[in-house]
Structure 1
């Protein structure tokens, strides 16, 4: 069972990352899925998505939870029955879960050149410090996207826009952390963020 990485962010918050190496059947066999979860996984057209979904349930087990402990609200945000906060992500061969006493968000993204094509859709303030010719431009864009995606998952408020409402303070890839802000409805919220790179992927997460 390839638990790839476990990070104790602070005394209330833990991140766990799974590298998806098992087949669909190997992942499904030990799990006790709720009927609607089983229906969801059987309805997925891509085996990659099925394995991502199932690997998240294995990460829940690493935290001591089962599929029965997880539910989603009307905005699609996941919650745990014991009241702890959770955020979930999966991308290709990796999945991740963060659990905390406070609201959190997590995202894993594959580092790809094509992110530069859509940069103008999610970057505004950050162009002030980004160098489009730098070797780490794609990596930095991927971190910014991951942080903003994590903020969006944490806040789960329809109408929020990555470009208009979220901003990421300047950082270096070697820093592994930075600060991000949400500026929405005349209120400002500050978040600590962290990020790490592995095997051509970037994981970012945010904690208030």
Structure 2
């Protein structure tokens, strides 16, 4: 089983990343899905999405959970029945899960030039320190997106805007961490953000 990486940013938090190399049949054979999730998988038009969904269930198993231990609230945020916090992501051939005693968010994205076209839709303040001429500009944009997506998942509040309500403090790729903020309804929330790059992908996760 290709568990790709395990990270422990602190004593309460564990991140696991899966590289999806198996076929659909190989992924589904050893796991049991709730009837509604089996129906959901069978209804997916893309095998890539099916394999992503199933790989997340393998990551749950790595944590000692089953599909039955996971449920979603009315905002689409995942929860575990034992009360621990969880966040889930998958992108193309990688998936990730973070489990913690604290609220957490995680995101994985493929590094692609086209993110530069939509940067103005999710960034404002960050343009003050990001330079289009930098060789790592696309990488940094992807880090910002991943952090903001992680914040969005963590906060799980309708109406939260990447552009208006989130910001990422200046960072370098080498530092692999920074501070991020949610400024929403006159309240400010500070989160530690950590990130890493692998095989043309970026992963970020945020914690209080």
TM-score, length of structure 2 as denominator length: 1.00
1:41 matches 2:34: no
1:98 matches 2:104: no
1:136 matches 2:136: yes
Q: CA RMSD in A?
A: 0.3
Aligned length: 208
Matches within 5 A, 1:49-198: 49-198=49-198
SS at match of 1:175: coil
Q: Deviations over 1:61-103 (max 9, x none)?
A: 0000000100000111000000000000000000000000011
Q: Deviations over 1:140-199 (max 9, x none)?
A: 000000000000000000101001100000000000000000000000000000000000
Runs of 4+ deviating beyond 2 Å: none
Other-structure match for 2:200 = 200
User: How far has the Cα of 1:9 moved from its partner?
Assistant: 1.1
TM-score, length of structure 1 as denominator length: 1.00
SS at match of 1:164: helix
Where does the alignment leave 5 or more consecutive residues of structure 2 unmatched? Answer: none
CA distance in 2, matches of 1:95, 1:130: 28
Other-structure match for 2:17 = 17
Where does the alignment leave 5 or more consecutive residues of structure 1 unmatched? Answer: none
